[in-house]
Amino acid sequence: MRSDLVDTLVDLIDHTQKKYLKKFNRIIIETTGLADPASILQVLLNHPILTQALEIDAVITTFDVLNSPPILESHPEIQKQLAFADKIILTKTDLIDHIIPLDFLTNKLKALNPTAQIIISHSDQCNSHELINKIIRNKKEGNIELKKRLPTVPHDHSHYQNFRAFSLDCNEPIHFATLKVFLNLLKDLYGEKLLRIKAIIALHDIHIVHLFFMVYKHFFIHQ
Q: What is the pLDDT along the chain (223 residues), one digit of tens a residue?
A: 568 889 999 999 999 999 888 888 888 888 877 777 888 888 888 888 888 888 888 888 888 887 777 777 767 778 888 888 889 988 888 777 665 677 888 888 888 888 888 988 876 566 677 777 666 555 555 566 666 666 543 444 444 455 667 788 888 888 888 888 888 888 778 776 776 777 888 887 777 666 666 655 555 555 5
CB of 149 closer than 8 Å to CB of 84: yes
- Neighbouring CB atoms inside 10 A of 206's CB total 13
Q: What number of H helices and E strands is found in the chain?
A: 9, 6
Q: How far apart are CA 81 and CA 142, in angstroms?
A: 18
CB of 36 closer than 8 Å to CB of 61: no
Domains and CATH numbers, the chain: 1-132 (3.40.50.300), 168-222 (no CATH)
Is beta strand 60-64 parallel, antiparallel or unpaired with respect to 87-91? parallel
Going by the DSSP 8-state scheme, the letter that residue 98 receives in this structure is T
pLDDT at 14: 92
Positions of E strands within 59-145? 60-64, 87-91, 117-120
Of 57, 63, 41, 56, residue with least CA distance to 110: 63
Positions of E strands within 85-153? 87-91, 117-120
Q: How far apart are CA 186 and CA 179, in angstroms?
A: 11
pLDDT at 190: 77
* 3-state SS assignment for residue 119: strand
pLDDT at 82: 87
Of 42, 63, 41, residue with least CA distance to 116: 63
- Neighbouring CB atoms inside 10 A of 155's CB total 12
Q: How far apart are CA 67 and CA 75, in angstroms?
A: 13
pLDDT at 154: 44
CB of 214 closer than 8 Å to CB of 196: yes
Global pTM reads 0.65
pLDDT at 9: 92
